[in-house]
Chain A
């Protein structure tokens, strides 16, 4: 059974940083591209970033480009999102999501971790 477990969320002041890990199990992590998707309270999901299977290529939404960095450690089956220069509008539940092989459809999601950016 695929399991994705995010952690690292919490309350941070504007301009601060957080690093979110997502531990993966139940599938061959190294075979899949991985993504981060966020959802602000009461709003729809918004894609944040994706990384390819070996970690050599990443893509970002314009809203986070230059501030967030996605990475992965395939030896530890763990995906990361380093978030710097956080803004109030980055407040959201952050989900890691596995793609359905070779596509950009998200067939498995973690339960999410809440990031609150507030003074």
Chain B
């Protein structure tokens, strides 16, 4: 199964900052990767699918990209409500894998 390695494991940034989270895959998975946001006590929420497509209702400050085996989630101008843990996720058609998570905190 594909392994997903997220970095950093945590980041602290100020309101208005640009924050980038990376998800490195152990093997090529085309663009079949999603990003989720999870706040404490809540289920994950789909933000980005197919590496760069924004889910309906998600603010445009969130964006996704890919370069080789590195996928990125970028928050263009960090807001207080963006404080959460972010997970990447992929499927190879047989099983589904989540990354280890990146905790984003507001300074």
Number of A positions contacting B (CB below 8 A): 21
Greatest chain A CB density within 10 A among B46, B96, B98, B99 is at B96
Given contacts A44-B99, A111-B43, A112-B43, contact A105 B89 (CB under 8 A): yes
Q: Which applies to chain B's interface (DSSP): helix, strand, loop or mixed?
A: strand
Chain B interface residues (CB < 8 Å from chain A)? 32, 34, 36, 38, 42-46, 49, 55, 85, 87, 89, 91, 93-101
Given contacts A100-B49, A107-B46, A107-B55, contact A44 B98 (CB under 8 A): yes
Given contacts A104-B91, A104-B96, contact A109 B44 (CB under 8 A): yes
Are A45 and B44 neighbours in the complex by a CB distance under 8 Å? yes
Are A47 and B96 neighbours in the complex by a CB distance under 8 Å? yes
Which residues of the partner chain B approach A29 to less than 8 Å between Cβ atoms? none
Are A47 and B55 neighbours in the complex by a CB distance under 8 Å? no
Give which listed residue, A46, A59, A95, A100, contacts B94 with CB less than 8 A.
A59
Which residues of the partner chain A approach B43 to less than 8 Å between Cβ atoms? 95, 97, 109-112
Q: Which 5 A-B pairs have the closest CB atoms?
A: A104-B91, A109-B43, A47-B96, A105-B49, A105-B34
Are A46 and B46 neighbours in the complex by a CB distance under 8 Å? no
Which residues of the partner chain A approach B34 to less than 8 Å between Cβ atoms? 105-106
Which residues of the partner chain A approach B85 to less than 8 Å between Cβ atoms? 44
Q: Which residue on chain B has the smallest CB distance to residue A35? A: B96
